[in-house]
Structure formats: structure tokens, C-alpha cells
Amino acid sequence: MSESMHDALHRIFGFREFRPNQEEIVSAILQQRDVFAVMPTGGGKSLCYQLPAYMLDGLCVVISPLISLMKDQVDAAKANGLDAEFLNSSLAPKDRFRVLQAMENHQLDLLYVSPERFAMPDFITTLKRAKVSFFAIDEAHCISEWGHDFRPDYLSLANIVKHFPKSAVAAFTATATHQVSDDIVNKLGLRNPHLTRASFDRPNLFYQVVPKSDLDLQILQFLREHEGESGIIYRITRKSVESTAEFLQEQGIQALAYHAGLTPKQRKENQESFNRDQVQVVVATIAFGMGIDKSNVRFVLHGDLPKNMEGYYQETGRAGRDGEPAHCRLYFNRSDMVRIRYFIEQTEDPNERKIAEQQLFQMVRFAEANVCRRKSILGYFGETYEKENCKTCDVCMGDVECVDATVPAQKIMSAIYRSGQKFGAVHIADIVVGAKTQKIRQLGHDQLKTYGAGKDEDKKYWRRVIDDLLAQDCIVQNAEQYSALELTPKGQRVLMGKKNFEVIRQKEGKKKAMAGMSG
């Protein structure tokens, strides 16, 4: 069996080797087992069902939410010699009839359909007459309300197992959280599935965080250094997408905008221009995602801080799907954190607020900790990265340096501690700079030992130290008590001088060296 699998891999797809996990998934499907596979973008999921679709008798039904990509996927499969067709709302009646006929006459290897078909009893009946060997569910996280892309249409896929008890079901997703994974397996009713959870490491991606100053110019410079390469620039608002795209166009860069405020037609056109290499870059909000079918994206730039690590990982993951080196750069400035925090503070639900706050600090920690970026990302997904030096991130390349900030950290934490851990950041910074506010006088905080201990620096400086401490878990905000700052055990160790507190800064003069680096 394994011999002919290899032969088919080579003959049909022209690949010499399987990528990690592909072989075991293909052989599980060939044995008619249910499969649940979590693989990062670029892991090569399509091959996992296309190869068995070719080898097995009968039809493989591929369920995908991406109607706009189905035609391209079918054309690609046909080019490899598979008998493939698709069925969705865009098809003319005449073509639909032809496809249904081919299906009933057992002439197809692969049929791509959109999930809403499974809510149509007629379709199920027809499908029962076709000989279905297995179902492949792409983007399976769309069935989970926990996921970032829930689609109600996907819920009808829960019936597949009931209607087709003899056919195997293989579900695929690139979403990494364990909660969503469990939910998918339960909702689909997979029967003792073969489980694959690939490593989320993307060794060909270079991760880097650079201080954000004059963003549009910084982006322009990057593009000039990467002429002829295609990439995605993520921005947080529609307005900033528009203005960055406009700026780049004025500078002669072929750039298009993409956000949810455009008409569906415009979005589709812009997406296709990008997929077909007709423009160099797309400036987009996170609405630009699943429809990207392009393996040679050479860079993903984040002009603003993403809201959470999952989003950051998925967005950067769109780079380098072909396995060639690609560049992921995040432009980071503290003011982004302040802005996101402002939005979080408007959230009504205290629980949601807390989660959003934690996610934000995880992002800030990622940007500011002196830890290999790869290690941080994988750690977020519960994966341990063993190597000391990944050689493909700015921290491991020595582009950032560590600065000791133990003394300022102690001043802040001492003020928090001595005032009884009952006050927010504004008041604590006021104590440390020795401000003469009414609140301080009334509470007698001008009598504290730390009052004015930091008068050589301004409030902005001390707010930053507080943010550093929050980001590194030395202090926390009490959500129930007006965001009062409290010390964590880690913070207490720093305060007692048992542990140093360090922050990272970009090394001067490193920028040039990075500019010359390929990939």
C-alpha cells in the first residue's frame, strides 16, 4: 500500500516526499477511518484528501465554504488528471444537471460542494445514489461557535454521519485551539477518528517586531527592499487600510485595498487580482483571509498590533505556503496597546473584558519579551519548542537587547503595595512622580516612602513601566475593583530583590543589517 501511495504522490502530484503527517492521514482514509487533522496553513491539507480520492473507488465529496475558490481548485485537480467538478449556487442549471449526472454515473473522483447543500433533502437523496467513498470537510472550524469563523451552514454537516454511516469523514482545520478542536469532533460526530495535530512551527517564516514610527514610510521602505515580491499588509481599521493603500498607490506601488466595507463584487475582484499576481500587495483588515489561494506570499506586515495571538498566527501563516522563506514583520508601538485597551474598557461583560485584556497582554508580551518569537508563538498553542536558537527570528538573531529595569519596577510596585493594592495606574503614577493631587493629599499618600521617588521621569514614563509590569505578569488589574493594581507572586519576588526585571529594546544600527537580509 505504502509503495503505491508514493507512486501516486509522484505520478499524480509530481511530489517526491510527503510533508509531515500527510502519509498517515492518507493511509487512514484509505482504510476508511474517520480523520480529524489540525494542520497549519501551508501544511498541505488538500493533498490529504485528493490522493485517496484518486486511489479509492467511488466519490470523495469535499465540503468547502469558499465558493469563489472552488472553480480554481477543480481546475487544479483536473490538471492533475483527477475527475473533479463542483456544485454551488453560481452554477448554471445546465451545468448542474451535467455534474449531477456524472456523479450518479460514478464518473467522478472529487466533488466540491458548499455546506448549504447538506440542508437540502434532494441533494442528500441524490448523493445516496452516488457511491461516496468519503467526505472531506475543509475549514472544519466553521462548525464551532468557539472559532473565529463560525458559519451556521456548517451545522447541517452534523447529519453526514447519520445519512452516510458507511462513508468515512475526514475533517481538516488550521485552527489551533484545543477547545475548538474538541468541539469540531463532537459536533461532526466523528467515530474514533484518527487524530493528527501537526506542529504549528512554520520554519520558513522569519518573525520580527520593529518599533513603529512613521508607518506608511516604513512600509514603503520595506516594499522597495522587496521589489517584485507579493505580500499582505494588515491594518486594523478600514480607514487606515484606505489611507495606507492610497499612499502606496501614490508612490507607484501596485496596491489594492480589502475590507468588509467594500462591495462583495469589489472584494472578489481585489482578491482575485491578488491571487493571480496582478497586484503586488493587498492592504487589508483581517476580513482578508480564507479566500487567499496563493502559495507564494513572500511577506505579511502587521501595521497595527493584532488583538490576539491566534489571529496573528493565522495572518502571518498566509506567508510562505510554498515552503520558501517568507518575512513576517510586526510594527509595534505602545500607543496601539492604549487604543485597544480603550476599546476593551467599553466592553460590558466583565468576563469578556478580562479575556480580551489577557489576550492583549499576551500580544504585548510577545512583542516585548526577550524570548524567541517562535518559542512564544508555539508556547501559546501549548507546544514546546526545543531548540535554543531558531535562527529565524529577530530575537535569536540578536537584533534586540535586554535592558535591566528592576529599580523603576520596584518603585512602582512599592507604591502599589504601600497604598494597599487598591488603586489604578493613574493614581500610582501620580504617587511615584510626586504629583500634588487632591486625592493624594486626602489619602495621605504624600506620606508614603515612595511618594516622589520617581520625580526625575514624567508620568508617561511611569505609565510605560506599569504596562511593562502588566505585560510580564508582575502586576495584574483587578477587574472587580476599578482596575486596582495588585502584585503577583512574580512581582513580589522582583520587589524583594529576588528577581530582576528586564525589558527589551531594538538595538541601534540593526535596522540596516535586517534590510539586507533575504527572506
Terminal CA-CA length for the chain: 39
Of the pair 19, 463, the CB lying nearest ligand ADP is at 19
Choose among 416, 409, 410: nearest CA to 431: 416
Residue 202: contacted member of ligand ADP, Zn ion, none (CB under 5 to 8 Å, by partner type):
none
Contact in structure between 354 and 483 (CB atoms under 8 Å): no
Residue 504: contacted member of Zn ion, ligand ADP, none (CB under 5 to 8 Å, by partner type):
none
CB of residue 452 to ligand ADP, shortest distance in Å: 57
Residue 471: contacted member of ligand ADP, Zn ion, none (CB under 5 to 8 Å, by partner type):
none
CB of residue 42 to ligand ADP, shortest distance in Å: 5
Of the pair 44, 147, the CB lying nearest ligand ADP is at 44
**Which residues, at least 6 apart from 53, have a Cβ–Cβ distance to it below 8 Å?**
59, 60, 62, 82, 109, 110, 133, 134, 136
Residue 317: contacted member of ligand ADP, Zn ion, none (CB under 5 to 8 Å, by partner type):
none
State yes or no: residue 301 binds Zn ion (CB under 5 A).
no
Contact in structure between 326 and 320 (CB atoms under 8 Å): yes
Of the pair 73, 167, the CB lying nearest ligand ADP is at 73
State yes or no: residue 372 binds Zn ion (CB under 5 A).
yes
Among 70, 160, 290, 396, binds Zn ion (CB under 5 A): 396
- Only segment of 121-129, 138-146, 384-392, 435-443 that touches Zn ion (CB under 5 A): 384-392
Of the pair 10, 387, the CB lying nearest Zn ion is at 387
Of the pair 18, 154, the CB lying nearest ligand ADP is at 18
> b or e along 35-56 (b: 16 or more beta carbons within 10 Å of the residue's beta carbon)?
bbbbbbbbbbbbbbbbbbbbbb
Q: φ and ψ at 86, to 5 degrees? A: -135, 155
Instruction: Return the SS3 of 335.
Output: helix
DSSP letter (8 states) at residue 169: E
- Hey, what's the cell of 84? 473533479
Among 267, 374, 411, 445, binds Zn ion (CB under 5 A): 374
Contact in structure between 369 and 472 (CB atoms under 8 Å): yes
State yes or no: residue 202 binds Zn ion (CB under 5 A).
no
**DSSP assignment of 434-485, as one string?**
T---HHHHHHTGGGSTTTTTTTTS-HHHHHHHHHHHHHTTSEEEETTTTTEE
How many whole angstroms from its chain centre is CA 74? 27
CB of residue 53 to Zn ion, shortest distance in Å: 38
Residue 372: contacted member of ligand ADP, Zn ion, none (CB under 5 to 8 Å, by partner type):
Zn ion
* Whole-angstrom distance, CA of residue 150 vs CA of residue 175: 12
Residue 396: contacted member of Zn ion, ligand ADP, none (CB under 5 to 8 Å, by partner type):
Zn ion
* Whole-angstrom distance, CA of residue 413 vs CA of residue 453: 12
Q: Answer positive or negative: Cα dihedral of 312, 314, 320, 323.
A: positive
Question: Judged by CB under 5 A, how many residues of this single chain contact Zn ion?
Answer: 5
* Whole-angstrom distance, CA of residue 514 vs CA of residue 30: 47
Contact in structure between 208 and 315 (CB atoms under 8 Å): no
Of the pair 302, 374, the CB lying nearest Zn ion is at 374
Instruction: Return the SS3 of 394.
Output: coil
Residue 19: contacted member of Zn ion, ligand ADP, none (CB under 5 to 8 Å, by partner type):
ligand ADP
Residues of this chain that interact with ligand ADP (CB under 6 A) are 15, 17-19, 22, 39, 41-47, 295, 321-322
Of the pair 9, 372, the CB lying nearest ligand ADP is at 9
CB of residue 48 to ligand ADP, shortest distance in Å: 8
Of the pair 33, 294, the CB lying nearest ligand ADP is at 294
Strand bridging mode 255-258 / 281-284: parallel
Instruction: Supply angle C-alpha 383, 385, 389, rounded to 5.
Output: 160
* Whole-angstrom distance, CA of residue 494 vs CA of residue 50: 56
CB of residue 46 to ligand ADP, shortest distance in Å: 4
Among 28, 108, 241, 393, binds Zn ion (CB under 5 A): 393
CB of residue 161 to Zn ion, shortest distance in Å: 42
CB of residue 68 to ligand ADP, shortest distance in Å: 15
Strand bridging mode 484-487 / 475-478: antiparallel
Residue 461: contacted member of ligand ADP, Zn ion, none (CB under 5 to 8 Å, by partner type):
none
CB of residue 223 to ligand ADP, shortest distance in Å: 24
Of the pair 74, 494, the CB lying nearest ligand ADP is at 74
Largest separation between any pair of C-alpha atoms in the chain:
89
Among 74, 82, 390, 435, binds Zn ion (CB under 5 A): 390
Residue appearing with cell numbers 497595527: 304
Using CB under 5 A, list all residues that contact Zn ion. Answer: 372, 374, 390, 393, 396
